[in-house]
């Protein structure tokens, strides 16, 4: 998995798997925690979760999540 | 392809087991639990991991990853209310485990991939209560969910 935590931005940049095209993903852990607070993650405990992901509410949550995810700069 | 109702039941059964124990059912056990044929349960496992997205160990029907958890150990050790029994799929999914255990204290311990020194994040529901060191960051070297055209619902 390439989604990792590092002790600082400098440590991430020094990692041998670092790719500068994804530099926009370098964010404080609290910011990633906020992104992973989207309903897409919060609703995983419901008994109709797969159905929910295909509902309007699920689609809206996904769209909101996609809007916050960093993209590569090519 | 399994019907939506079966996908919901299968997802719930596996997620509950992993959340409770850190382990996942074999498909034979899932078949018994859901009252379905063995073949249907085996196919259900593979369909669920294609959706979530998780994965089975290559060439097998054994669940290896079911986000936010990993059945196979990773560097992201998860402690819930003082008990270390779980692993997270990745550093970001580790931050989402708290939503499956409301009211419980979640602690993530991981080594930094650059230096091997420890990182700790502690959470109580919506609150991040501790981050050590404070400068800890998240970083991904590839777009989350992979290529948009082939990305499952995440």
How far is Cα B78 from Cα B120, in angstroms, rounded to an integer?
10
Asked if B89 and B67 count as a contact pair (C-beta separation under 8 A), the reply is: yes
Q: In the prediction, which pLDDT does B145 show?
A: 63
Q: What angle do CA B128, B63, B84 make, to 5 degrees?
A: 40
Q: Could you say which DSSP state residue B142 is in?
A: S
* Distance of alpha carbon B101 from alpha carbon B107, whole angstroms: 12
Distance CA A46, CA A57 (A): 14
User: For the segment A45-71, what is each residue's pLDDT rounded down to a tens digit?
Assistant: 999 999 999 999 999 999 999 999 988
Q: Where are the domains of chain B?
A: 4-66, 77-132
To 5 degrees, how large is the angle CA B78–CA B79–CA B81? Answer: 150
CA distance B81 to chain A (A): 18
Q: What is the pTM of this model?
A: 0.94
| Selected residues 22-61 of chain A with any CB under 8 Å from a CB in chain B | 22, 25-33, 35-37, 40-45, 47-51, 53-54, 58
Query: Which structure tokens are listed for B67?
Result: 């986000």
Quick check: B19 and B25 in contact, CB under 8 A?
no
Domain B4-66 belongs to what architecture? Orthogonal Bundle (1.10)
Spell out the per-residue pLDDT of chain B, length 154, in tens: 779 999 999 999 999 999 999 999 999 999 999 999 999 999 999 999 999 899 999 999 999 999 999 999 999 999 999 999 999 999 999 999 999 999 999 999 999 999 999 999 999 999 999 999 999 999 999 887 655 555 544 4
The pLDDT of residue B154 is 46
Question: What pLDDT was estimated at residue A72?
Answer: 87
Residue with tokens 């204290």: B105
* pLDDT for residue B2: 79
Provide the 10 A C-beta neighbour count for residue A63: 9
User: Tell me, what DSSP letter sits at residue B57?
Assistant: P
Are A52 and A43 a contacting pair, CB within 8 Å?
yes
Q: Do A41 and B96 touch (CB under 8 A)?
A: yes
For the domain B77-132, what is the CATH superfamily, name and number?
Alkylmercury lyase (3.15.10.60)
Instruction: Name every residue whose Cβ is closer than 8 Å to that of residue A20 and which is 6 or more positions away in sequence.
Output: none
**Tokens standing for residue A62:** 């996904």
- The CA distance from A74 to B84, in Å, is 41
Question: How far apart (Å, rounded) are the C-alpha atoms in residues B40 and B62?
Answer: 15
Cross-chain CB nearest to A6 (options B12, B128, B139) = B139
- ipTM given for this complex: 0.95
Backbone φ and ψ for B93, nearest 5 degrees, come out as: -65, -25
Partner A contacted by B149 (CB < 8 A): no
């Amino acid at each position: 998995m390439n989604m990792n935590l590092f002790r600082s931005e400098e440590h991430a940049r020094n990692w041998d798997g670092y790719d500068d095209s994804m530099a926009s993903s370098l964010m404080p852990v609290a910011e990633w925690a906020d992104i992973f607070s989207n309903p897409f993650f919060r609703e995983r405990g419901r008994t109709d979760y797969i159905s929910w992901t295909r509902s309007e509410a699920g689609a809206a949550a996904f769209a909101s999540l996609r809007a916050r995810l960093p993209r590569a700069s090519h | 392809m399994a019907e939506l109702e079966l996908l919901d039941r299968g997802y719930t059964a596996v997620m509950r087991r992993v959340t409770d124990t850190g382990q996942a059912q074999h498909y034979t056990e899932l078949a018994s639990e859901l009252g379905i044929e063995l073949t249907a349960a085996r196919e259900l496992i593979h369909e669920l991991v294609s959706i979530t997205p998780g994965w089975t160990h290559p060439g097998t029907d054994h669940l290896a990853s079911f986000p936010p958890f990993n059945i196979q150990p990773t560097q992201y050790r998860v402690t819930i209310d003082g008990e270390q029994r779980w692993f997270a799929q990745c550093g970001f999914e580790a931050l989402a485990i708290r939503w499956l255990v409301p009211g419980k204290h979640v602690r993530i311990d991981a080594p930094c991939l650059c230096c091997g020194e420890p990182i700790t994040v502690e959470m109580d529901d919506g609150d991040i209560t501790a981050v050590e060191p404070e400068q800890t960051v998240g970083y991904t070297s590839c777009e989350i969910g992979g290529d948009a055209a082939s990305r499952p619902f995440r």
